[in-house]
Structure 1
Amino acid sequence: MILFLAARPVTAPPVRPSRPVRPSPRRPRLRLRSRPLAPYRRIFAVPGTRAFTAANLPARLPMGMLSVSAVLMIAGSRGSYALAGAVTATGLAATALVGPWTARLVDRHGQARIAVPATALAVLGSLSLLLCVRHGAPDWTLFASYAATATTPNTGGMSRARWAHLFRDDPAARHTANSFEQAADELCFMLGPVLATLLCTALFPEAGTAVAAALLLTGVLLFAAQRRTEPPVAPAPATGRPRSPLRLPELPPLLVTFLATGAVFGSLEVVTIAFADGHGIRTAAGGLLALQAAGSCAAGLLYGLLRPNGRAGHRFLGCTAAMAALMLLPLLAAATGSPAALAVALLLAGMATAPTMVTGMGLVQSLTPPGQLNEGMTLAVTALLGGIAAGSAGGGWAVDHLAGAGAAYGVPAAAAALALTVTLLTARRRPDRPAAPVS
């Protein structure tokens, strides 16, 4: 075709070649304007990506449902929020211990071989909790049952590992995929508690746990069935047992930043509920928190449209600085006593969290060895969960001991400042490596 077009001027007037040349500079600009979502279309054009993403979403939604459902179910039947909180805290601690071990097995033996039996065990734990609550079993059975749910695999991490394998030589596509995954996380944590509350209050107290367990099992089975996009199992090292990613010098400081970021999330939730309760609008607390998650979800999707420039460490520093600055807005808005001002402040504050998480997860992927991606990302999620638990406790203490819930918004602001401080202190010592290729 090129040779044919080159031969055309021989028989055609000389002016003919100028016609296709004239509009050519405009076409790329028009195409970019009419296709603003081109980066997302490009990653989902790869065969199999839509299938595993569609299967992963129902598997991920229970992450925002299980703890809320357990609290509502236990508190409704036993009349004790203290017992409900202790049971969910025990499950969180068990997840922090078991989660990295489960992820290591996934890396070593494959997603399908480990995720399905691990999910089955977790679902049995949820059903055991439901039956123990339903039939008035002793309190210790609630702790044992909920602790069994700690084998729930990190479905978001497994999805990110697939993107990392598919786009191992394309950093821009990995950035877009990680942005989408973070937006999906925010969407699930925004819709999960709402769905759990609706099921537990409109149907019966055990409905939330039952539906969450069914979604988890169905989603993981469908996800594991998508074998063509599953990352290959890395060969075992010749030295025997692989080193834990925790022994990498650059990873622990990054996990401390994730811990502080989790404290932002946990304290923001508790303080916002207390603020709404103190202003007589407790039913609006879910809406206020949904605004924060919506801001984060939108920012994550928009962030994925941008082409990452510069060093990842510098971008991460900029994201944590933006988060620290925007987390001052709820503190200032709460001081006015206006729920409307707080709603706007939470929406804006949420817009810094997703870019921080996207860039941070990208750094975890680049630092973690190829055959330990699931373990590395699960360690990051574990740090987040630990931070959420600590932030919830710190936010609750601040509400009780400071001058009202408005002043307690200083806790998420302080946690964001801590994340920025840790990043500043460790940014120079963290090398920017290219993302490790997945064999």
Structure 2
Amino acid sequence: MHRPAPLLLMATGGTLIAADRTVNHPDAVRPPRRPLPPRPVRTPRPPGRLGAYRRIFAAPGTTAFTVGSLLSRAPMGMFGVSLIIMIATTRGSYALAGAVAAAGMAATAVLAPVVARLTDRYGQAGIAVPATAWSVAACLVLLLCVRYDAPSWTLFATYIARSTTPNTGGMARARWAHLYRDDPVARHVANSFEQVADELCFMLGPVLAGFLCTALFPEAGMLVANVLLLSGVLLFAAQRGTEPPAPGRSAARSGSLLRISGLPALLAVFFCTGVIFGALEVTTIAFADARGHASAAGAVLALQAAGSGAAGLLYGLSRPSGPATARFAASVAAMAVLMTLPLLAGGLPALACCLFLAGCATAPTMVNGMTLVQSLAPPARLNEGMTLAVTGILAGISTGAALAGTAAERLPPGTGFWLPVAAGTLAAALALRVHSKGTHGTRT
């Protein structure tokens, strides 16, 4: 009997098999099917240690406003150094440079809360852009006054006029608080990230400013700082989707924020923290200068910021537990203890190690402190509350620098390291007072 030629068919997996044309013949044998190979099971990759930071940037617009915030905050570490080098180089007077810087700091302490209050009332974009434009214009006039040897009073007037610079760090924290208002863990991570960003800006800003002013021309640092400030604020303000809603003119006012229970003591802690920063900076410079290594003082101080930044990055990965007031009191107490380490340093290398360790408690203190400010201040006045905290720090820096400068002139080098110890002890007592009041009983 003649049998038809088999057909070649393509089976799953690309295998050729023979198929009989007479498949309906009773004697025909159907070839067995080959089972499909099992699909490989993909095991989910465990999230990395930095997964918590990636998660907060999942919300649309967060990356863009963060880039703008970083660009606008980078000049914050550049202005002071640029001003001192610019005026000291062109006018030959560190006293004049210091006086102009102090006048600008005092003006900032007065104007910054006003700008923040307007920002909360009318929106970040509506106030930040014109305030920045005014600040940049005043600074450009300052550069012209320096370049064309205008009278000294014009330096004071123009540098005071530029004090309308908005607090973009506070505005960024306000955006995080609005986006993750129902997620305390995400807010904790976001606050930690913002503190690391602050430390990075204040660590790299002075280095960049010093390089620009010495390698190019005296006004270069201030000029670049203003370009970064304006471009950063414009990018930040353009991200309207993440901006907290503004209550407008009809919003109900609740009086001064200083009437809120616990907030004055909290701001006093921020002031003491600023005293620590200012005293450490001046005393470290005097300590290094007395040992013939004044040029190394900047690198030594950068290690303190590096220690704080590393601690902030790790602290953001921890899961907050217990009342925020308790965490704040514990971190301030740790900061007070670690501030005793510089007293043990006999030389510059030892001081560098001590400052790195001392800085490790700074970021947790700031993170917990800003968390408390977010829980205390009304949502409609959040930027004002955080600007008050920053203003307290700035006032403390000025006070600590002045006290440490007097100690450096009249007492042996290194004596000024007792100032951070005293300020830290007072801060710990005040933080304990905040905790004892059980402010809001918050666990955020």
TM over 0.5: yes
Tell me how far 1:238 sits from its aligned partner.
6.2
Partner amino acid, structure 2, of 1:381 = V
Q: CA deviation at 1:432?
A: 3.4
Match of 2:427 among 419, 424, 435: 419
Segments of structure 2 that go 5 or more residues without pairing to the other structure are 1-40
Counterparts of residues 187-202 of structure 1 (less than 5 Å): 187-202=200-215
* CA deviations over 1:237-287 (Å, ceiling 9, x no partner): 665x44221121211110000000000001101011111111111111110
Paired letter, 2:427: A
Distance 1:43 1:238, change over 3 A: closer
1:227 Cα offset (Å)? 0.8
CA shift at 1:345, angstroms? Answer: 0.5
> Which whole-Å CA distance do the structure 1 matches of 2:278 and 2:110 have between them?
19
| 1:207 Cα offset (Å) | 0.3
Distance 1:378 1:421 in 2: 23
In the alignment, the residues of structure 2 paired with residue 105 and residue 362 of structure 1 have an alpha-carbon distance, to the nearest angstrom, of 22
Alignment of 1:65-84 (within 5 A): 65-84=78-97
- Letter in structure 2 aligned against 1:357: M
Q: 1:98 aligns with which of 106, 111, 121?
A: 111
Q: Which of 395, 409, 424 is equivalent to 2:404? A: 395
* 1:402-438 superposed Cα distances (whole Å, 9 cap, x missing partner): 222x2221111211111112112332114234489xx
Aligned match of 1:407: 415
CA distance in 2, matches of 1:417, 1:118: 38
Distance 2:433 2:440 in 1: 15
Partners in 1 of 2:331 and 2:409 — Cα distance?
31
Counting only pairs closer than 5 Å after superposition, residues 193-342 of structure 1 correspond to structure 2 as 193-234=206-247, 241-333=253-345, 336=346, 338-342=347-351
What is the alpha-carbon distance in structure 2 between the residues aligned to residue 244 and residue 72 of structure 1? 39
Does the CA-based 8 Å contact 1:313-1:432 persist in structure 2?
Answer: no
Moved more, 176-185 or 415-424: 415-424
* 2:270 and 2:392 in contact (8 A); partners too: yes
Shift of 1:399: 1.2
Q: Which residue does 1:40 correspond to in 2?
A: 53
Give the 3 Å change call, closer, same or farther, for CA 43–383 of structure 1 in structure 2: same
1:5 is matched with none
1:14-58 per-position Cα deviation (integer Å, ceiling 9, x unaligned): xxxxxxxxx99xx78x715xx111110110111111111011111
CA distance in 2 between counterparts of 1:379 and 1:287 reads: 30
Structure 1 stretch 413-422 or stretch 263-272: which is displaced more?
413-422
For the 8 Å contact 2:125–2:238, the answer to whether it is kept is yes
Which letter maps to 2:68?
A
1:121 maps to 2:134: yes
C-alpha contact 2:265 2:433 (8 A) present in aligned 1? no
SS at match of 1:403: coil
Match of 1:133 in 2: 146
Whether 1:60 and 2:77 are equivalent positions in the alignment is no
Query: Identity of paired residues, percent?
Result: 62
**One-letter amino acid of the counterpart of residue 296, structure 1:** S
Asked whether the equivalents of residues 370 and 386 of structure 2 are also in contact (C-alpha less than 8 Å), the reply is: yes
Pair 1:366 & 2:379 matched: no
Aligned-pair CA distance for 1:170: 0.4
Partner Cα separation in structure 1 for residue 223 and residue 254 of structure 2: 38
In 2: Cα distance, 1:384 partner to 1:37 partner: 29
1:433/1:150 CA distance change after superposition, 3 Å? farther
Q: Is the 8 A contact 1:398 1:411 kept in 2?
A: no
- In 2, the alpha carbon distance for the partners of 1:124 and 1:417 equals 42
Matching residue of 2:6 = none
Alignment-mate amino acid for residue 369 of structure 2 = G
What SS does structure 1 have at the residue aligned with 2:75? helix
State the Cα distance separating 1:113 from its structure 2 match.
0.6
Q: Equivalent residue of 2:440, what SS?
A: coil
Deviation at 1:149, TM superposition (A): 1.2
CA distances 1:371-422 after superposition (whole Å, capped 9, x unpaired)? 0001000000000000000010111111122222x22211112111111121
Q: Separation in 2 of the partners of 1:299 and 1:341?
A: 20
Could you list the structure 1 runs, at least 4 aligned residues long, displaced by more than 3 angstroms after superposition: 235-239, 432-436
- Give the Cα separation in 2 of the matches to 1:435 and 1:227: 30
Contact kept, 8 Å, 1:365 with 1:435, in 2: the verdict is no
Unmatched 5+ stretches in structure 1:
1-22
Partners in 2 of 1:110 and 1:323 — Cα distance? 36
Q: Quick check: 1:366–1:433 contact (8 Å CA) kept in 2?
A: no
- The structure with the larger Rg is 2
1:142 maps to 155
> Which residue in 1 is equivalent to 2:46?
31
Change beyond 3 A, Cα 1:126–1:430: farther
C-alpha deviations, 1:154-191, integer Å up to 9, x for none? Answer: 01000000000000000000000000000000000001
Q: Any conservation in 2 of the 1:43–1:173 contact (CA below 8 Å)?
A: yes
Distance 2:221 2:169 in 1: 21
Question: Aligned partners of 1:247 and 1:149: how far apart in 2?
Answer: 30
Instruction: Find the aligned partners of 1:330 and 1:372 in 2 and give their Cα distance.
Output: 39
Q: 2:363 aligns with which of 335, 354, 367?
A: 354
In 2, are the aligned partners of 1:322 and 1:352 still within 8 Å (CA)?
Answer: yes
1:344 lines up with 2:359 in the alignment: no
String of CA shifts for 1:342-373, please: whole Å, max 9, x gaps: 11101100100010000000000100001000
**Structure 2 residue identity aligned to 1:358:** V
1:135 alignment partner AA: Y
Question: Number of paired residues?
Answer: 404
- 2-structure distance, mates of 1:69, 1:236: 38
TM-score normalised by the chain length of structure 1: 0.89
